[in-house]
């Protein structure tokens, strides 16, 4: 019990958990490559068990900190957020040949094209998903984002 209290008060559990989660993330990005997505749940099926263990560690750190009301240094909170973002966004931007969330810039450009030209012709994306781009253009106008 005394060792457990020392680990809690000095945040060693948080340090060790963050380190293990980071190592599991490094192993994941070095061992997995996605070249083509064949089904909507393909990404979930191709990710190895140690990716999911790392996600579980990060979520359990979060729950553990707030259940036991641990006060940690602010940089540990930042490390937690950075590592969580690496797991959710960084993994896919590294292991995929063509990361899909990078298309956001192209979609934003098409929304501006819809605003300026008042039509949705000229691109495969615009013709396949017209309501999405009309919504994005409307959202851009309502929020007065710079276009």
Per-residue pLDDT of 101-141, as tens digits, reads 555 556 667 777 777 777 667 666 666 667 777 777 777 77
SS (H, E, C) the chain: CHHHHHHHHCCHHHHHHHHHHHHHHHHHHHHCCECCCCCCCHHHHHCCHHHHHHHHHHHHHHHHHHHCCCCCCHHHHHHHHHHHHHHHHHHHHHHECCCHHHHHHHHHHHHHHHHHHCCCCCCHHHHHCHHHHHHHHHHHHHHCCCC
What would the mean pLDDT of 60-71 be, rounded to a whole number? Answer: 77
Q: Domain of residue 43: give its range.
A: 2-98
Same domain, 87 and 56: yes
User: Which of the two residues, 3 and 113, has the higher pLDDT score?
Assistant: 113
Same domain, 84 and 112: no
Same domain, 69 and 117: no
Q: What is the pLDDT of residues 11-30, one digit of tens each?
A: 777 888 889 999 999 998 88
pLDDT at 55: 92
Same domain, 64 and 25: yes
Same domain, 53 and 121: no
């Amino acid at each position: 019990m005394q060792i457990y209290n020392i680990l809690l008060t000095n945040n060693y559990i948080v340090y060790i958990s963050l380190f293990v989660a980071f190592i599991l993330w490094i192993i994941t990005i070095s061992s997995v490559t996605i070249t083509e997505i064949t089904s909507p749940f393909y990404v979930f099926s191709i990710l190895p068990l140690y990716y999911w263990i790392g996600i579980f560690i990060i979520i359990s750190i979060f729950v553990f900190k707030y259940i036991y009301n641990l006060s940690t240094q602010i940089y540990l909170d930042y490390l937690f957020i950075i590592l969580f973002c690496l797991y959710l966004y960084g993994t896919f931007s590294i292991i995929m040949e063509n990361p899909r969330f990078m298309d956001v810039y192209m979609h934003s450009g098409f929304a501006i094209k819809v605003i300026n030209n008042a039509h949705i012709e000229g691109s495969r994306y615009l013709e396949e998903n017209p309501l999405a781009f009309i919504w994005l253009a409307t959202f851009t106008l309502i929020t007065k984002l710079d276009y």
